[in-house]
Structure 1
Amino acid sequence: MTISAVGTYSISAKCVLNGCESNPSSATSLEIKALPNITAINTGPYTVGQSISLIGNGGGTYSWTGPNNFSSTLSTPIITNILSANGGIYTLTVVGVNGCSTVATTNVVVSGVDPCDLNRIVDYWYVKAGNPHLPLFNLTDGMTINQIPEQVSVLVTPSLCSSVTIESFEMNIQGPELNWNILQNVSPNALFDNIGTDIWGRHFKPGNYTLTITGYAQDNKGGGITYGPKVIRFTVVGNLATINAPTLSKTAICAGSSVDVSFNISGTFNIGNEFRVELSDSSGSFATPVLIGTTNGVGTLSCAIPQSTLEGTKYLIRISSSNQVVVSNPAISQVTIHPYSYNLVSPTNNLTDSKIKQAVASINASNKVISPASVTYQAGKAIILNAGFEANAGTVFKAEIKSCDN
């Protein structure tokens, strides 16, 4: 017999055997009492040093037990100055006014670091660049760091502090041959940028560096500053042979023409060493560098930009060596390369803003220039406006036969 409804019941019994039935027994009373309706919760998660607040309800008497030999008969006990050992399952037993008892549990999470601590709202990981990258240590103000031959970067990681919203970081680092600024909206917020898990880096030469980080509430520096500016100063020391960042005779170059690249070195390179001048891709990545010049000595070298080079405004130029293997930082300035020719199609190459499209030889266009655009096409030999090309009302469009300026 199963009785689940709360109430008082009158129960009697009789025996039935082989079709014969006894008289009912005397009736007795049975009372079904309600279990206490209880809950057990906490206000976490918590970090070391904070206070745990346990909250129980349901009426009657309370008995809490939990990790680190905790016990209490309060309905809402508080545990102060907590340690990691205070984390875990807490059990609440409540005896109701009718004498019935029931049990509930709550899981208390305690981490070792307060995510809202002013010193830990953002972490700065000093890493060896590459894919995969290798985290080395957490960068802090005033550190002295040994120079390493590999390229390095800094990953800027916000904590899980719920009271501080950071959706974008502006990062600037200044030091020997280095003055770099970048805006990052997406993790891992790499100082020298990245593609997916491929973290790009630079060689930190011996000297003093200043890293400045500012966090914003929304993407692209929107919503106001919610963190910083935070300034971290550190020093790199070492005695490695190094190649100084090159200097360039110009930073706007036409595909097929040349640029003078000058550089110096410190330390000693091995016999037979060759210095190589390398051009990045249009995004600034040296994953597959293009060799544009070689020399056995230091000084100035005239380097030819391949005629097939695509347009771009973020090219970089650096120097590498063969024996021993050393890679310089890129020249401080990014390089703009004008292509040998353009083939502009719609809708991929439709233009809606102010733009000068400059080519060495020719431009073939079947794209659209859309208001309020102001666009100029410049080419050394021919500008061909094919079927489909449009310059809509409200736009300014010019076509000029003009040599690529070097």
Structure 2
Amino acid sequence: MKLPKILLAAALVAGLLTGCSARATLTVLGPWSDAEEQSFRAVFADFEAEHNVTIDYIGTPAVNQVLQADVQKGQPPDVAVLTSPGELARYAASGGLRKIAGVSDSEYSQQWRTLLRLGTPDLYAVPVKADLKSIVWYNAHTPPSPVPSTWPGLLDYTAKVKPAWCLGMEAYSTSGWPGTDWIEDILLHQAGPDTYADWASGKLSWKSDAVRAAWTTWGQLLAAQGAPGLRTAALLTYFGDAGKQMFATQPGCHLEHQGSFATGSYPKDAAADFFPFPTIGPVPESWEVSVNLAGQFTDNPLAADFMAYLAGARAQAVWPARQDSSAFSVNQQVLAASVYKGPVRTHIAQVLASAQHLCLDASDVMPAAMADAFSRAVLEFLGDPSRLTDILSGLDNVRTGVAGQGKLTEPCG
């Protein structure tokens, strides 16, 4: 008498299982936590619903180290979003990164289509969000007059307005990186994209004339700023706090060289505007950019679907359109959809999506050991500019020491 009941129960369970499919899981590793994590979760919410999948997102500022450990254990996430295109390129070179299939990059400019291939003939990355560098912020209520459009004009303003620059180099374990942005921008606008690309990819010596000139040019501007005490203060000032002084009743500074994300740390009612970093030599107008790139690390078909979803305009528009967002997409359809609030954000989005001569942040392209040494060198230079020769020699020793590591060979679009 019991056997038919057991068979009946088994049939009932089988019917339930075939009537509703189990919910799949996709693992995603990324650099965001807190409010940024919530914004990223909003980006993939529709994907979860439409594909009946749960995305197991792990956010950590040590995303490169966590990914490296997971790959070494043979347990990589399905998808990882990295702040360093150079690291992603090294996974592509080692075979750990999957080529992206079924993803169209037609919504991106030719410059971005080049950059997303990580120096290969194939598509390997999808941009989740990007930031424009090569810009100088100011308080729109007290703009510089005239707005500097040349390097001599910028030096003149620096010498006349005290203190001109908001400088903050403190960033915990990565202190010094705001100064690397200065060197990168000066070199790009003084020597041009080709020289910049050779330097960023490790082909050009740190002791070369072009690289030395970038450091000495920054030193020239720091000297025009005035008191050495301001350089010392920069070593102790958190980078996210430096620019807030522009909007005080009695401004503590008037200009900040910082990426488009800077507005996220400014007061909510701040009237911030920017002007392009001026060219210093006979070079084309160029822009330094940073970008968070997603890469696929497993053959999970859902991972391929997720990459295609992330690349599309619908997903790309979510983060930039959120209230008080300082995020930008490089997808041209997002730009056309007018999701950006105000002329300043729209201008930044236009440059990111459409400008010629885009170059990735050099520190994000370099091997980790080189980028870390670069950041430390900035701090040394601020402390004692007379040590420049020794500083550059030390950096070149690091360059030759990492020569065997994979390089991102095309850091400019």
- What is the TM-score when the length of structure 1 is the normalising length? 0.21
Bigger helix fraction? 2
TM-score normalised according to structure 2 size: 0.21
Higher-Rg member (1/2): 1
Higher relative contact order (CA 8 A, sep 6+): 2
